[in-house]
Structures are given as C-alpha cells and as structure tokens.
Structure 1
Amino acid sequence: MKIGRSIRVLSMTILCVLTVSSILPYISQPVSANSQQTLFQFYFPWNDGEATSIDLSVYLHKPAGKYGHVYVGSDGRLYVGSQRIRFLGINLVSPAIFAPQSVAEALAKRFAKYGINLVRLHALDAHWTSDNIFRAPGTRELDPTRLDRLDYLVAKLKENGIYVNINLLCYRSFSSSDGLPREVDSMNIKDKHILGFFYKPVRDLQKEFARKLLTHVNPYTGLSYAEDPAIAFIEILNEYGMVFGWFDGAVDRLPDVFKSELQKKWNEYLRQKYGSTTNLRNAWGRLYSDENLEAGTVRIFTLSEYSNRPTAAQRDWAQFLWYLDYDYFRDMYNYLKNELKVKALVIGTQMTWGGTPNIMQHMDLADSHGYWNYPAGDFWSGDYYVLNTAMVNNPTSSTIVGMANQKIAGKPHTISEYNHPFPNMYRAEGWVFLSAYGAFHDWDGILPYCYGDPDYGWNFDTRRIMATLDFGQDPQRWAMMITAHMLFVRGDVQVARQWVAVELSRDQEIEFIRSRTAGVWNLPNGRMAGNPAHTALLHGVVVVPSNRSRPPNTLLPRDVPAPSQSVYVSDTGELIWDCRESGRCVFIVNTSRSKVLTGFIGGKRFDLGEIVIEVKNALLNGWATIAIHVIEGSSFRDAKRVLVVAVGLTTNTETKIYNYDNKQLLFTATTDLASIPNLHGLKLTTYRDMGRAPTITEGIEATITIKTSNRATAYALDNIGKRKSSLSVTTSGGNQVISIGSSYQTLWYEVTMTTTTPTSTPTPTTTTPTTPITTPTPTPTPTTPRTTPTTPTPTPTVTTVTVVPVTLSTVVNVPVTVAVTFTVTSPITTVVPVTHTTTV
C-alpha cells in the first residue's frame, strides 16, 4: 500500500492504491442453470394506495410545501425548510391530467405509496386531444371544467406529499383563431414554437397563458399556482430553442410572413454591430448583390444555403441565433418572477435539446431528458422499431455519460424525462443506472416518462403495457421505483468524492454552432468541450460556463486517465460497471443499505460483503435485475426488514415480437414460454399490436445468502406488497440462505430478521453510510420569508473508510488497481471534492 498525503485549507487527502479485490465483488464460476424458465401473470393495480410493507408514503411531506417553498441553497442544491430534498417523480400527460376526481385521488395515493414526491404536468396544451386546458376555438381561453379537474388533481397531489412541475409550452397549436396570420395554421406544432423567439405576438400569447393559469386561484387549496409552495417548478418550454429549431430546418420552413419578421430582427442585429453595408462587406468579405444593410435586405441564413456563406458571416448568424435564445428565456423568466411573482423555481428548457450551459445558467436550475434507444419510425402507424441493446453493454455511449456532461456548476440539476422504451427487453436497467449515477453526480430530481399513454386517456386499469413509453403498467419498470427511491431519494449511494470541471465559454458554444459541430438534439455540452466519456463513470462532472468560476480542487478532463480494462469503478467504490466479459456486462451497486445487480448476471455468484447472490440462468441470455434494500435498519448489519426485487423478461400476454429488418416473428409471449432466441442488437417491433392483458413476467431463480446468525423469515409478496406465502430459509455456515424463483409468482419478497444471540457482525466492504436525504425530521421554515438561503458552515470531519480485501476470481483474471480517496466532509455536504483517480 502506497500512501500520499497533502494538507489544504478545510481538506485532507489520503490516496490509497488497492488491488481490485478490495473493491470489486467476488464473481465465481458459473452457477448451475435451472431446468426450465416459466412466465407467470403479474400486474400492479393502477389504484393501489394501501399501506403495505413496501409503502414509502410515510417519508413524504404531507402536505407538500408544509416546510415552505423549494429553494436553491448556497451550495447549489435544492432545499425545503432546513433540509435537502431530492425528487423522484413521474410525468403525467394530457388527457390524464384532466381525469375525474376519483381517478385523481387514486393516482395521488398510488404515486405516494411508491415514494414519488413530484409530478410533472406535461402537455396541458396537447393538440392531439380536446381534453386539454383550452376552450375552443383557439388557445387563448382556459376551459373551466378541465381547469377545475386540474385544480383538484393538484390539491390531491399536495395532500399526499407530492410537489408539482407545471409545463407552460409543450404542444400548443397556435392558430389564426388566436389572432395570428392565417399562415400559422399550415405550420407543424414545433415550428410554431420558434415564432416566440423573434415574433412578439406569439411571445405575448405565451405570457397571457402563463398569467391566466398561474395567477388563477385554486379553489381546493385557496392559493394561486404562482404562490402555492407545492408548485416546485415552472418550465417555460419543452425541448426547444431558436438554435435547435434552425438545426431542425424550422427556419427554412417558415412561411414568408414570418421569414420577413426574422429578417427584420437579423438586419437590426447587423446594423447595431456594423452600422453600414460597407463595414459589413469588409467584415464578411462578400455579400450578394441584392443585400443592403440600410435597406434591410441581408437574407436570413437557411440550412440549405448556409455553407455558401463566409466563416465570418456564419459566426454572426450563430451569434444572432444564440442571442435570440438568450433574450427569449431571460424575458420569459423575468416576466414570471417579476410580473407574476412566481415563487416556484423556473426551468428554461432542456440542456442540449434546446438549451446550452451559457444560457441555462441564468435559470434557477438546469434540466435534461434522456432516452436509451428511443423508438425510430412512426409508432402511431405501427411502422417503428426499438433497438434491443442493453445499456449495460455500452458504458461509454450510455445516457449517463451524456446527461452527466450537462450539469452546470453551482446549479441544481434534474432529469425530468427518462425511459428505456418497450419492446427493449432490458428496460429495468434504466432506473438502476439513473438512480445510482443520479445520486453519485448529486442530481436533484429524476422522472420517468410517462405514466399511461395519451391514446388511453385516464383509463389506467388496463393491466398491460399500453405503449412503448408506458411506465405505470409495466411491472419490469414500475417495480424499480422502490430501488430508485432507496438509491436516490434516501441517499443510499454516496455523492462523488472527486469532481471534474469542464470549461465551456459562450464563445465556444457559438463556435460549435457556427461549425455545426452541434446539431439538433446535440447542442453544446461537456462532451463537445472535450470531456472523455469515462470520466462520468469514475467521478462527478460539472460544466463551467462563462462568468462562473471553476470549483476549487476539481480536476480537468485531461487529468483523468481511462481504465486500462473495461471496468469503471466510481471513486466511492460503490458503483462498478464491469465489461471485461464482452457482450455480457454487469453493473453492481454495493452500499451499506442497498445491493443491486443488473446485466448479464445469470450463472454467476456475487459476494457483496454482507450479501451473497447466486443467480441461475435467465431467459434473456442471462440478463436480469436483482435489488436488495434494507427497509428497517441503518445497514445490513442491523437490518430488521429487507426487501428483495427481482425482474427479468416482461411483456403483455400474446405480445408478438418481430425482427423489424426482415419482419420475422421471433416469439409470442405466453406463460408456457421456456426459451427465446438471443435478441440482443436486433431491431424489435410489435407493429403496434401490444398483446392483451395481463402482463406476464419472468421469475428470476436465485439464492440469497445473508451473512448473519440472526434468524431470517422470508415471504413472497403479492402485487400490492402484502405477504402471500412463506419461503423456506435454511442455515449454511451460520448464515441465512433464501431461494427465490418463479414458483412464487412474484417480483418481490420481504425478509425479516430476528436477533438470536449476540454475535460479531461482518465487516462492511463499503464506506460508512451517508445520512438519508429526506428522512431527518426537518426544522419548520421560519415565518420570515427566506430570500437568500444560507447553509451553516459545519466543522470539517474526516470520513472513515474501511476497505476489507475480498478475493476476486473471474473468467479473465486481470490484476487491477483502484485509487481510493479519504476526504474531509461536513455533516451536511462534502466541503471540498478532493483528488481521486482510478486505474484499471
């Protein structure tokens, strides 16, 4: 062991170089496979709010906002009252937002039971249904009936401890009925939204809607949305911007009446910069013969003719587009905050999908969206496919890497849409990765998209997956909400010890736009600024835009070498992404309160310290997800109650899965399905025939050993979390051994521990657990309004890290070294991120 030591103000760094056996869990020789895999019927009731063994609603603030408004602390994190808060949310989409009162009540209770503390009200303005917020004709008046239903839903969410995110502009279809030129009626929905960036009448319509909605008083709460502390966020615009729209061809498609308005703005911009045609020609080198700045005839730059323009001209155009984005978001932000007195935190739009760091830094927080293998083609017509690759096999091209490179230094960060769409067979992995790395990167909120499907309105009692993005009726995805809460909201996964700062100036952003290095769905971000993919899997990442200082003691991207082998170990030692077996990667979360495996874990044995998991084979070439969480107790050493979740192949009954490329039927899902071909890497489709109810799912066969002499009792749980049958528990070597599998026809199990005689406890293989994010009893918000929140400066203390060597044996026995950092922390936050490197 080599130890280096340095002393800094408020920090102490000790670097230890350890063999991989002290970090990676033991992975043994293959475990014998079970003789036959079986699927069984299983669904989660849409209206289940019963308090059972898996109920997490007790951890929510009831009512939401009881401790005051959500605010940004001086450390750039989200708080309520005196406590940190993280959000586990869900997207609810029109027309479900306007469901009858009985449905709203049931939804609120179900969400709370699964630890959901935020609902994003998306597409209030949906053009695809008459059940939207507007009263026809046009989009200027609010429909009183649907507004009442919205009010009631918000009241019920608040009552159950659930905060709200309101989206102001998603799919509103501006029309001539709103007083606009008739040419607007021929434009597609998103192209209409570009108008607000340069055409004042459309921006005024957006402000009018915001005023009518946000200043309206909810009769069920007695508060307007502008002042209600249960309204945590207001989002100005979903996934759009001027630069984004130009890359997408929206400027090329503008009707002439709107092109002329944009050209006026463009020529005004050039006159302010150059003053005359002569100066402009000298700067650019050439102009077209009919272009004259005094006459306002310098053309706008369409994509189709952009490459014909000189570099200097391209740079001015990129600056102009960037300025229009900046002006729009700052103007809308100021209107909400200063004119409407909105107390909620304001989001502009999504990073790289409309926003850039140098513009979004002026909002209250930044937000991102992420999808793994989003459906390609036209789902509504049935001509679509989803690429069936497991993200676990693609660490450096994962969504995690992309989203981690969008967090702005000193700003809260949320992921308000995320999904691994059906019929991708590995969907459950998404919530393991998002919640684990979300906690590691210290994000503030994560939300799947979406609950239900617009086609089915508010009929949630379908007992089947309704559409490719439907989250609420998919047992494979919905079961992982418990895991997401534990890892992210409860804070089982520790925040990164070391941070990498990626500097990205305003001028760099504009150059990326000018050179078209950026593009639609890929606006400037940390990866574009040179941050290698692997850094986000090893350390925390922040992007530092202009006018912000690089945080102290952060590394630069060049300071972080890539692992020499395909194993990515977080600097906390808790997250391990192991791809040494090509095409059969495994991701492991190993903390004092949670143990999670996802990936191709079939036929392997994992020693995670206090827990050993032996997995038999699984239908998807060995892919499965198993999560084990302490429900009562501070760690597995003193656990009184433990939850086990295990998921594999999940579809609807009689779903037919086809190869999109050759239209070959690959399999039909029935309960007697014993095997399926290897589907990894294929383009899968159902041609929109999703099968029928109920959903059917695979029972993962595994043996779980708990290293304790305490007596364990185990139960299979039904679909609302009630005990339905007992499992056999045996003793082996003084430990408790439990076998789970398809015979119990469930996805989750409860284990209770009863103390027998005092014994020595196993030494933990991970660091001392962090304080849960939301479980401490908060101090009520002071009666005096909080304007500039401050965080008390705590006395630094040294975090103790105990690492015990564990033997490692793998198919490929490669010696690996990992650098572990001991860092000074405060009771509330890590005071200074300190140097930590990982080499494999």
Structure 2
Amino acid sequence: MIFKPAAAMLIAVTLIQAASAAEPLVPFVLPWDDASAATVDLSSWNHTPAGKFGFVQAKPDGHLYVGDQRIRFIGSNVTFSMSVPDPAVADKAAARMAKFGFNCIRFHHMDSSAFPRGILAYDNHSSRKLHPEGLARFDHFFAALKAHGIYSNINLLVGRKFKAGDGLDKSIEQVDWKSLKSIGMFYQPVRDLQKEYARDLLTHRNPETGLTYVEDPAVAMVEIANETGLLHDWFGGKIDELPEHFRNDIQRQWNAWLAKRYPSAAAVRDAWGAGEPVLSDSLLTAPISVNKPWYSEQHHGARATITPQGDSAIRIVVTSPAAERWHLKYDYSSLKIKGGQPYRLSFRARADKPITITASINMAHEPWQGLAYAPVEITDQWQTYQVTFESNTDEPDARLEFSNLGEVLNTIELADVSLRPTTRTGLLDGEDPTKNTVPMFTKSDFAARIEAARRDWVQFLWETERDYWNDMRNYLINELHVKVPVVGTIVNTSTPNLMADMDIIDTHAYWQHPHFPGRPWDPGNWIVKNESMVDWPPATLGRLGVAHVAGKPIICTEYNHAAPNTYSSEAPLMLAAFAAAQDFDGIFMYSYSHAWEDIDANMIMRWFDIAQHPTKMANMIPATTMFRRGDVAPFTETATLDLPPAVEIDMVTQRGRSWRLADPDMLQVDPTMLLDHRFNLLLDQDARPVAVETRPNQVTFDTSRPNKGVMLVDSPSTRGVVGFADGRSFKLGDTVITPRPNSQDWSTIMITRLQPDKASNLLIVATGTAENTDWKWTNDKHESLGNNWGKAPSLIEVIPAKITLPAKAGKVSCWALDQRGQRAEPVKVIADGDGRAVIEIGPPHKTLWYEVEVK
C-alpha cells in the first residue's frame, strides 16, 4: 500500500484474545439503529435503489452482473421473525446494514414458523396460506432494503412443516422437518405445494414498490430449497426412516427406473449377479461380556454400571449422562479389517427409553478415524438389528464400538453380537422390477449389494433429484417468469453436476459449529470448541473452494465462527479474503438476527447473530472493502478437476456421505492446495477457468509454526495480519504491523483504503474478545456457557497494537471514535527514527476503532 497526502484508506485492526486481568473488558455497544454519517459508513457504495441498473444476471464468464458491471454481494441472513420485522425496526435495520457495507440480504426461515415468527399462517392444520400481516411486513422490509441499495435473496423452502390439511397423507406429520424438504424430490403432491408457495409469494404485488417480486430487479436471486438433497438424505439414513406411504412411492419409482433400464429381471440379474449372501465366521472371538476383549469407555463424568446377563448379553445402566457421544461407549478391540470387504454386524438390543445409538468400526489408535458407521434406533422391545459395514481402507488395529449410549439416564441391553465377513449380493430371489419387488435400498444394508447394484441405486437417486431441481427451475423461469438467477441448494447436500443445472453454485461452512451432545439444539447443553481457524484453514475454507464449478458464479450464503469462541471475530475477515482469492460472487454471514424483538438487546445473542456482536459487525467493514471492491485479487495459479456426471456418480457410489457429497475427501483433493490456487471443477470441456493477471498471491496462509498460524493480506489497497503474533512484526509493503502482547497472543490487523477517489480519513478498527456482562463459562476450556449468556451491555477488550505508516508523523492525526464512529478524543502520533508516523492504539482508549487523517 502506498500512503499519499489526502489518501483515503481504512486501517482495520482486530486482536482477538481472552480477558486480561491487567486490562479488563470495557462496555461497548454498536447501536442497532445507527445510520449516522461517519468515517465508518459504506452506504454510498450501494446502488440506490437496488436494481437501478436492471436485473442481476449470471454471465458466461461465471460471474454476476447488473447491466455491464460486475457485482459482488456481501451481507447476512434475516431469519424467523427478523424476516418479517415491525416496520419501524425494518427501516432502521436497513439503514444500518447499508452503513456497514451490506448490499444483499438473504430472507431465510420465513416459512418455518407461524406469524409473527414467519410469513405463513399455519391455520386449520395447513401450511398453504400466507399470513396477511406477515406478508405486509415482508413487503415493507423488502422495500426498505431496496431504498437503501440492498438486494434480496428470497428462499422458498427452508423449514416448512407440511400438514395433513395440505391434502397429504397424515403420516407426513411424522417426518422430521429437515427430511420434509427432500420428499418433494420424488413425491409430486409435495412438489406441487412448493410451486404453489412460490407462485403466491413471487407473483404477489408489493404495494410499496408497485411491483411483483418476479418484476422487481431488487431481487438478486431466488433459492429453491435450503440444505437438502435426495442423495444427502438417503446417505444420512433419513429416507430409510420415512413413513411407509413415502417409501412405497420411492420403491415404485425405483422399480420403474430399473424396468426402463433393463428389459427383464434376467437382464438385471446379468448386470448385478444373483444369490444370497454367504456369511463367514464372526471376527469376534468372545461373546459380549464384561471381560476382555470387550471393555467400557467412560469419560468426562459419564458413568454407567455394566453387568452380565447370561453368557452373551450385558445390561448398561447409565447413572450419569454423557456430554459427548464418545464419552460412554462399549467396545471390542483387536480387529483386523480389510478395505472393500463387507461385514455384517448382527445384534439384539432393547432400552428402557428409545434411543439412537451408533454402531461403528474405527481405528483403535491415533488419529482414531472412523472407518464405517450406522445409526441404530433401539426401541423398548427386544429386536434383532443388522448393519452391513464397509471400510475403504485396510486397518490392522480396529475396534467395534457401540457409542452414544449415555445420551440420557437409561438402561440398555445388548446381546448376541456378531461381526461376520459377508459376500455381496446382486438380485435376490423374488426380486423383479416388473413386479415391483426390488426393495428400496437402505443405507444400513447398502454395502451388502454388489457395485453394479449400488451404482444403479445412486444413479436412480441422482436422476430423480436432477428432475426435481430442473422442474422447479423451469417452473420459476418459464411459468412464473422469474428474471434473476435461480439457486438450487448448497453443494455438499447436493452434487456439483446437479447444481450446475442451476444459475449459481451455493455453499455453506461453519468453523466450530455448536455441538449438542444430548438433545439437538438444547440451549443448555452444547459445546463450541474455542479455537482459531488460522491453524486449520483448509478444514473449513477448503470445503467452500472445492465446490467452484468453472463457468458458474459461486456464493456462500451461510458462514460463521460461532460465539462464544473468543477468536470468532476472525470470521468475516477470513471468509472475505479467501472468497476474494477464489473469485467468489457473494458471501453472507449467518445470521444478522433471528428475532427483531431482540434487535436492541445490546448484547451478543447466542451462537450466530452478528447484529449485536460488536467485533463481528466492526469487521464487516474491512471484509467489505476486501471482497466487494475486489481489493484482494484472485489467485493467479489454477487447479482443476474433471468431474463429468458419470465420474461424479461413481465417486458418490464409492465415497458419498451426508453433508459431504463434494468435499475434499470425496473428490480426493488436497484442501491445502486451495490456499494458494484458484480451484475449478470441470464438468464439460467447454467451461474453463478464466485467466487472470499474473501477480503474487495477495493472501497467504502460514501454518509453519505449530499452533501459531497467521493469514497475511498484502495487496495495493488492503494489507493485514490475522493470527498469532508470536513475538513478530509484520512488514507488508511500506507498512509495519506490530501486535502488542495480549492474553492469547492472537490478533488480526487489516489496513485498507476506504474511499480511494476522495480526500478522506483512515479508520482503525481494533477488536478483541467480546462477551456479555456476567456471562459464565461452564468449563475451564471456555467451550460453553450453557444458558448463562449474561446480560447487557456487551464488553470488548481494548487492544494494543503499533502501526507504522509511511507518511510523515507531522502529517498524521488520530482520534478514538465512539460507538457511532464519531470522534471522541485524540490519540498521540509519534515519529520513528525516520520520521514516519507511529500510532499506538489500545488502552486507555475504551474503543474498538479510531480515525486517522493524513494531510
């Protein structure tokens, strides 16, 4: 970066650490309704109104445009009641979002709850009606966002709970809300209801804009369904669990597909082979008991008493529940597992309280990797359970595990356990597609079928899912006349080839998402590991990058590092830098707010909301300058992977998993490669990566020092450091960044031009640990608060850092800013030995940002 007189730039500094006894946290709240003009104000970047240059279009170069100018979107999600807020709240929230650089908002979970928490009425046991006031509030919020230059991403199916009153079989109400989304992929009545909702919403005329949503260019994109897929739900075992009414429909279509593919049952037999499975002797040399090689694992306070029940059964009485699935297990050791060999696990079981346990084969040594697993639902009646396992690799030291035994106080009995090598089966006796007698393949028995049969099943699901996505897109474009790009769902719950039929590729990722060891989403029983992502950047960012299909725009519509992780302020910066280097077209933090009623709480609202999270919101400013303006250029070097449909289907058959339908493991891509190469999937020979100007990479991920990783950004307009200082200063161009000692030795410091075409000021944003007053950690690892999230106001750590600028000290002035970004008090600027300006930020100034003026 070159500092010049009257240069306009932003210095964003984020130092994340835990509270220090020497420097206590100080109250700091970014007002929820602040739209005041200040150095911290990017609202002038927006098109006002949104859509003024016409409809958003996906062009052949794989990017989004309005008119002839490329547009990159940055923003967040509004969910549940925040998607239909009180009109007064909507007006103020829209203005504040624009100030922080947002130019797109994703309307999410509008359909999950009845008004006032959503847009649907959910009356008379039906989900078919839009609530009049909910619709009016949505109209107003959309219009307010549009006026402030903020486009909208409208989601159609997120959490809708279909009802018998919708004209469906009554068993629909037994289905988990997430599994409901994939039913429409094969069951026409549910798909028709989705089309009805899309028609009612998108062709509704907003009285405040005078346009329907299909006519309004302030709609950036329309998303068909969130985080779903038929393959995804099948690999997750969810299709196996559907009521018989829906499983019968899949079986009917499966047999029809086979009958179309093969002229007769004999032809299927020729392709698959035939015969019943042949089981070898059990690998278990001893019946289940309390003696070796069987043993119990009880960790971190989980406790159970285990007693024999005859010669081949045990009773497990849970006396202290487990916080994690692995805290209470029953294992058999010293197994030798052969990769590619199917194994049939058989056992009898019952439990006083129905429970889903996990049966698995895992390494019995570091890194304790799982080789194969299956969830098993145990009822209160004795039943025999059978699961077929297959590992992709040989493992000479493996163990059989029954885990998740300690979810609740319970008594579980296991008996007659065997693990036997088995042969694969093809078409079994009595199976004939012309008679509809080939069963739907279940996940728990998939490994027992030969490769040809498994591939046919995966291809059937793949083609069935493809028909759904294309039918829905065609309906939106050809019947409703939607004029903007259509998003299907995210790659990883669907596949790259299936999503390439849509207009935009979408992805989601979270670093240290909350884990719920007991009941899902239990607000009192959860864990968020307290780690910075700088030491493990490929783990999360790699998943995002491998989804990039050549010739298609790519966006990330959900991303976060969950609170109360004390490093979580890094989230917007790491996402923005990586997405810019991979040449993404949109990034969205999840979520701005889940409830408008809490928008003025002046405290951090649980795991994901950023609206009242002072450090994450502050870092949206430098994230916007890096990504939206393109300050960080795309990586020069490219890496590609050929993935035509047939290869994709083979990969999914062999390595597919729920939530992992295109991750680095399945694609067999080294994720570290994505930290310095722009990655593209090549689905056909016509689409190739677009060449970019050759230059050194402007973002670098350095993990050479164990547990002391850093991300460095070095471009003409933005420079910075994210990570562990470890006693270092960082010289980036003509600027030197020196983090001062802090309680975690961790910092992010960003320096970027704010308004390069105007004589303006610089902004320093310095954030550290953020928490609420009186929140209480439940353990010394700072991994959970339970329900003890504390109270207002939010608190920040005032971060010390030294920044040396190339400008002469006499030309530089600095002020600490208040919570609205207005000048509060001067900060001393000194000269180094060469006369350059040196700014020491931090205590005693009780702030997270500063203004610098270069004359």
**How far apart, CA to CA, are the structure 1 residues paired with 2:182 and 2:217?**
31
Tell me the secondary structure at the aligned position of residue 838 of structure 2.
strand
- Give 1:474 shift: 0.9
Deviant stretches of 4+, over 6 Å: none
**How far apart, CA to CA, are the structure 1 residues paired with 2:456 and 2:72?**
41
**Bigger Cα displacement from structure 2, 314-323 vs 273-282:** 273-282
Aligned partner of 1:696 in structure 2 is 795
TM-score (norm 2): 0.77
Instruction: Report 1:337-376 matches (<5 A).
Output: 337-352=477-492, 354-376=493-515
Letter in 1 for 2:613: D
Q: Which of 41, 44, 68 is 1:58 aligned to? A: 44
Q: Which of 542, 564, 569 is 1:428 aligned to? A: 569
**How far apart, CA to CA, are the structure 2 residues paired with 1:551 and 1:125?**
37
- Give 1:601 shift: 2.0
Letter in 2 for 1:202: V
Letter in 2 for 1:514: T
Aligned partner of 1:242 in structure 2 is 230
Q: Is 1:657 aligned to 2:645, yes or no?
A: no
Work out whether residues 676 and 697 of structure 2, in 8 Å CA contact, stay in contact via their aligned partners in 1.
no
Aligned partner of 1:452 in structure 2 is 593
Aligned partner of 1:37 in structure 2 is 23
Q: Which of 536, 540, 548 is 1:394 aligned to? A: 536
Q: Which of 406, 410, 413 is 2:551 aligned to? A: 410
Distance 1:705 1:552, change over 3 A: closer
- Give 1:530 shift: 3.1
Q: Which of 831, 837, 844 is 1:731 aligned to? A: 831
**How far apart, CA to CA, are the structure 1 residues paired with 2:838 and 2:20?**
17
Q: Which of 667, 670, 675 is 1:537 aligned to? A: 675
**How far apart, CA to CA, are the structure 2 residues paired with 1:632 and 1:36?**
37
- Give 1:603 shift: 3.7
- Give 1:498 shift: 2.0
Q: Is 1:641 aligned to 2:756, yes or no?
A: no
**Bigger Cα displacement from structure 2, 127-136 vs 193-202:** 127-136
Deviations 1:667-686 (A, max 9, x none): xxxxxxxxxxxxxxx47010
**How far apart, CA to CA, are the structure 2 residues paired with 1:751 and 1:130?**
45
Q: Is 1:747 aligned to 2:848, yes or no?
A: yes
Deviations 1:688-736 (A, max 9, x none): 2111111111111111111122610101111111111110111222111
Q: Is 1:317 aligned to 2:419, yes or no?
A: no
Tell me the secondary structure at the aligned position of residue 528 of structure 2.
strand
**How far apart, CA to CA, are the structure 2 residues paired with 1:158 and 1:99?**
15
**How far apart, CA to CA, are the structure 2 residues paired with 1:687 and 1:198?**
40
Aligned partner of 2:322 in structure 1 is none
Instruction: Report 1:465-544 matches (<5 A).
Output: 465-515=604-654, 517-525=655-663, 528-544=666-682
**How far apart, CA to CA, are the structure 1 residues paired with 2:748 and 2:709?**
12
**How far apart, CA to CA, are the structure 1 residues paired with 2:664 and 2:463?**
21
**How far apart, CA to CA, are the structure 1 residues paired with 2:523 and 2:481?**
44
Aligned partner of 1:462 in structure 2 is 601
**How far apart, CA to CA, are the structure 2 residues paired with 1:240 and 1:547?**
28
- Give 1:113 shift: 0.5
**How far apart, CA to CA, are the structure 1 residues paired with 2:66 and 2:716?**
27
Deviations 1:258-306 (A, max 9, x none): 1111111101100000021111112111223232222111100011221
Distance 1:269 1:571, change over 3 A: farther
Distance 1:552 1:573, change over 3 A: closer
- Give 1:379 shift: 3.8
**How far apart, CA to CA, are the structure 2 residues paired with 1:127 and 1:152?**
19
Distance 1:255 1:283, change over 3 A: same
Distance 1:571 1:152, change over 3 A: same
Work out whether residues 618 and 648 of structure 1, in 8 Å CA contact, stay in contact via their aligned partners in 2.
no
- Give 1:236 shift: 0.2
**How far apart, CA to CA, are the structure 1 residues paired with 2:183 and 2:551?**
32
Deviations 1:517-557 (A, max 9, x none): 12011003565333322221112111112464444879xxx
**How far apart, CA to CA, are the structure 1 residues paired with 2:701 and 2:180?**
43
Distance 1:577 1:647, change over 3 A: same
Letter in 2 for 1:146: G
Tell me the secondary structure at the aligned position of residue 450 of structure 1.
strand
Distance 1:49 1:551, change over 3 A: closer
**How far apart, CA to CA, are the structure 2 residues paired with 1:683 and 1:256?**
45
Work out whether residues 602 and 618 of structure 1, in 8 Å CA contact, stay in contact via their aligned partners in 2.
no
Work out whether residues 86 and 137 of structure 2, in 8 Å CA contact, stay in contact via their aligned partners in 1.
yes
**How far apart, CA to CA, are the structure 2 residues paired with 1:127 and 1:248?**
25
Distance 1:34 1:288, change over 3 A: closer
**How far apart, CA to CA, are the structure 2 residues paired with 1:191 and 1:198?**
12
Aligned partner of 1:200 in structure 2 is 188
Aligned partner of 1:152 in structure 2 is 140
**How far apart, CA to CA, are the structure 2 residues paired with 1:428 and 1:553?**
33
Deviations 1:796-824 (A, max 9, x none): xxxxxxxxxxxxxxxxxxxxxxxxxxxxx
Deviations 1:119-149 (A, max 9, x none): 0000110137753221223111111111011
- Give 1:751 shift: 0.3
Q: Which of 570, 590, 610 is 2:714 aligned to? A: 590
Letter in 2 for 1:493: V
Relative to its length, the structure with more strand (as a share) is: 2
What root-mean-square deviation, in Å, do the aligned CA atoms of Structure 1 and Structure 2 show?
A: 1.9
- Give 1:373 shift: 1.1
Tell me the secondary structure at the aligned position of residue 92 of structure 1.
strand
Tell me the secondary structure at the aligned position of residue 234 of structure 2.
helix
Aligned partner of 2:475 in structure 1 is 335
**How far apart, CA to CA, are the structure 1 residues paired with 2:755 and 2:185?**
52
**How far apart, CA to CA, are the structure 2 residues paired with 1:553 and 1:640?**
34
Distance 1:196 1:244, change over 3 A: same
**Bigger Cα displacement from structure 2, 682-691 vs 421-430:** 682-691
Instruction: Report 1:109-148 matches (<5 A).
Output: 109-127=95-113, 131-135=117-121, 136-137=123-124, 138-148=126-136
Work out whether residues 512 and 524 of structure 1, in 8 Å CA contact, stay in contact via their aligned partners in 2.
no
Aligned partner of 2:753 in structure 1 is 630
**Bigger Cα displacement from structure 2, 589-598 vs 433-442:** 589-598
Deviations 1:737-771 (A, max 9, x none): 111003111111110011xxxxxxxxxxxxxxxxx
**How far apart, CA to CA, are the structure 2 residues paired with 1:734 and 1:483?**
28
Deviations 1:40-90 (A, max 9, x none): 111111111111111100010000000000112231111111211100111
**How far apart, CA to CA, are the structure 1 residues paired with 2:115 and 2:535?**
39
Tell me the secondary structure at the aligned position of residue 268 of structure 2.
helix
Q: Which of 730, 742, 749 is 1:618 aligned to? A: 742
Q: Which of 169, 174, 192 is 1:181 aligned to? A: 169
Tell me the secondary structure at the aligned position of residue 658 of structure 1.
coil
Aligned partner of 2:443 in structure 1 is 303
- Give 1:633 shift: 3.3
**How far apart, CA to CA, are the structure 2 residues paired with 1:551 and 1:612?**
35
- Give 1:602 shift: 5.9
Work out whether residues 713 and 720 of structure 2, in 8 Å CA contact, stay in contact via their aligned partners in 1.
yes
Work out whether residues 39 and 742 of structure 1, in 8 Å CA contact, stay in contact via their aligned partners in 2.
no
TM-score (norm 1): 0.78
**How far apart, CA to CA, are the structure 1 residues paired with 2:541 and 2:668?**
16
What is the total number of aligned residue pairs between the two structures? Answer: 677
Work out whether residues 646 and 700 of structure 1, in 8 Å CA contact, stay in contact via their aligned partners in 2.
yes
Aligned partner of 1:224 in structure 2 is 212
**How far apart, CA to CA, are the structure 1 residues paired with 2:431 and 2:160?**
36
Distance 1:404 1:165, change over 3 A: same
Structure 1, unaligned runs of 5 or more: 1-32, 555-569, 660-665, 667-681, 755-840
Aligned partner of 2:819 in structure 1 is 719
Aligned partner of 1:277 in structure 2 is 265
- Give 1:396 shift: 3.1
